[in-house]
Amino acid sequence: MKATTDGSTGAPAPRAPSASDDAAETTAYTPTVVAGDTMAAARHATTRATEHLLAAQDSAGWWKGTLETNVTMDAEDLLLRQFLGIQDRGTTEAAARHIRAEQRADNTWATFHEGPGDLSATIEAYVALRLAGDAPDAPHMAGAAAWIRGHGGIAAARVFTRIWLALFGWWRWEDLPELPPELIYFPQWFPLNIYDFGCWARQTIVPLTIVSAKRPVRPAPFALDELHTDPRHPRPRQPLAPAASWDGLFQRLDKALHLYHKVALRKLRGAAMRSAARWIVERQENDGCWGGIQPPAVYSIIALHLLGYDLDHPVLSAGLRSLDRFAVWQEDGSRMIEACQSPVWDTCLATIALADAGVPADHPQLVKAVDWMLAEEIDRPGDWAVRRPQLQPGGWAFEFENDNYPDIDDTAEVVLALRRVRHPDPARVDAAVQRAVRWNLGMQSKNGAWAAFDADNTSPFPNRLPFCDFGEVIDPPSADVTAHVIEMLADVDRTHDPRTRRGIQWLLAEQEPSGAWFGRWGTNYLYGTGSVLPALAAAGIPGSHPAVRRAVGWLERVQNDDGGWGEDQRSYQDKKWAGRGASTASQTGWALMALLAAGERDSEAVRRGVRWLADTQRADGTWDEPYFTGTGFPWDFSINYHLYRQVFPLTALGRYVNGGPAGASLGA
């Protein structure tokens, strides 16, 4: 994959690849003409952004920006290759070049731009560079090791980091939380059955139960004594929490599971591992990956290999080939690993942005995008059907290949995109929309809201397991996903459906005292509020509604002096950061979309925000955005979607210039 420079400032960041070496031709269009200095600037910015986005479309009809996370993806890719014995010098050197470029002046690695040093990320990056041949006494390595020791050493790292180290004997398996493969036999009604976990955690935990049971150790190529606070006693004892507390209960459960590991019946354990392996193989996608995301693929490959699958086995060879598709090769010869890829999400958002910017509804490139999205519809049940066995399929996933896990959020936004385009076969579009609406309605949770992948995935127990310290492991309903579903339902004339009204009431009840809404899948209160206000407006909630006025007041209060909006990832840990951070193009777009939906088109806040977007746009129609405004797990896993800096500013500018979202009755 080729890459071009994205012009990011501050710490070095991966450069966004061009969508295709053979981009689709653009077709000229005429934007709406509106008088006024701010409007003139907005029109000009809209035109340039539209031209850039049209030129970035792949010839097949999709858009995809780089999905940038952190160096643990790159480090774990090298560790996997070391474990399997398939490392090659070229790949190792390219990955090491990227990892070195991401090290900061304080010798650490962070998990988001300008974030604090992260212990686990720094340990994994350090180990990967040791594998690449960097000497431990080199200044950048010695500085990192000193920082690691100063922050508790390996013993203070997250469980996943210590699992990777245990694979090479750098940590003892006995000192890791236990998760037995017999978990696969727990019935759906039993606490901690695999369907109590969110789909991303489920796909990771099932293979890791096999790894945990097998406890493999490959010969380590070097020692890591320099990463322990005391190499003679690298594993300090952790005090037990009170037995009457949840933490104490689950600590004692973990101790019991360690005892069980020693006495587990061989036949039962063997059968459980075979059942887990069958579960894994059944969920491998057509392209060889698992769930379209990198971590489950990595652990599934390790687990199956431990059970005797050789590297030439069709399942493993396809899995290994799929991992290469997560690699972004950059102009400087470095190699970055994407945690996953977002073509469906990027394509529906790009389609909405272009339509709202005034591109004609029958524009050939929009029609091509709809054709591609229609071909990506998932027409078979997946794991979501465990909780909704009678529900017929009809959704879209986030990635190129992920038939087991379509998601509610993508499905809602795809419907909004489909209905903005005048397709030559409207009956085909309408049928897909009807299936999607039925499926989304069927995935409503008991409380009236919607989550991302499953219904009623709200068990309080998985997050309390000592094993699960790597981020959110359940999938409860969220305001941003619920808002997108409400906006979609309003668009298809389901505003008065009782299920829609329940969703609206849930949203109104979820508003923070500040006037904002929490954002689960984007950072953070700006994303939540930027999702909810357009949905409420689409559903007929007037701009004078008290909830809307509170939200407008909050957006006005947190607007930056430069006219833009920004919010740091730290708002997930500290509400003092809510709505606070350096101005970014995507977050300014969200704030403007919210204010425009609330009827604030002529306000000073909107004018200043529009001017900020116009003034910070680059000559090629793009915006610079090194900051991470996407969320995988709040605080624990942050994402910089490189297309967000294009689609959300364009959507906001288009709605400002044209007076609102594009007419959405085209697909009716």
CA distance 146 to 487: 51
CA distance 407 to 422: 25
CA distance 584 to 602: 22
Contact 181, 254 (CB under 8 A): no
**Alpha carbon of 531 to those of 484, 521, 523, 595: distances in Å?**
7, 11, 11, 11
Quick count: other Cβ atoms within 10 Å of Cβ 334? 23
CA distance 313 to 333: 31
CA distance 329 to 336: 7
Quick count: other Cβ atoms within 10 Å of Cβ 471? 17
The C-alpha angle with vertex 35 and arms to 34 and 39, in degrees rounded to 5, equals 70
What is the full DSSP assignment across 234-281?
-SPPPPPPPTTSHHHHHHHHHHHHHHHHHH--HHHHHHHHHHHHHHHH
Q: 56: Cβ–Cβ under 8 A, 6 or more apart, which residues?
A: 18, 19, 23, 63, 646
CA distance 289 to 574: 36
Contact 651, 348 (CB under 8 A): no
Quick count: other Cβ atoms within 10 Å of Cβ 333? 11
CA distance 582 to 617: 16
Partners of 336 in the β-ladder = 328
Phi-psi label, residue 604: left if phi above 0, alpha if psi -120 to 50, beta otherwise: alpha
Token pair recorded at residue 624 = 């610079």
The C-alpha angle with vertex 131 and arms to 129 and 137, in degrees rounded to 5, equals 55
Contact 126, 87 (CB under 8 A): no
Which residues form the catalytic set?
Answer: 409
SS3 labels along 270-312: HHHHHHHHHHHHHCECCCCCECCEHHHHHHHHHHHHHCCCCCC
Q: Helix or strand or coil: residue 497? A: coil
What is the full DSSP assignment across 600-626?
-TTSHHHHHHHHHHHHH--TTS-----
Q: 17: Cβ–Cβ under 8 A, 6 or more apart, which residues?
A: 1, 2, 3, 4, 66, 328
CA distance 359 to 16: 25
Which parts of 460-497 fold into alpha helices (H)? 479-491
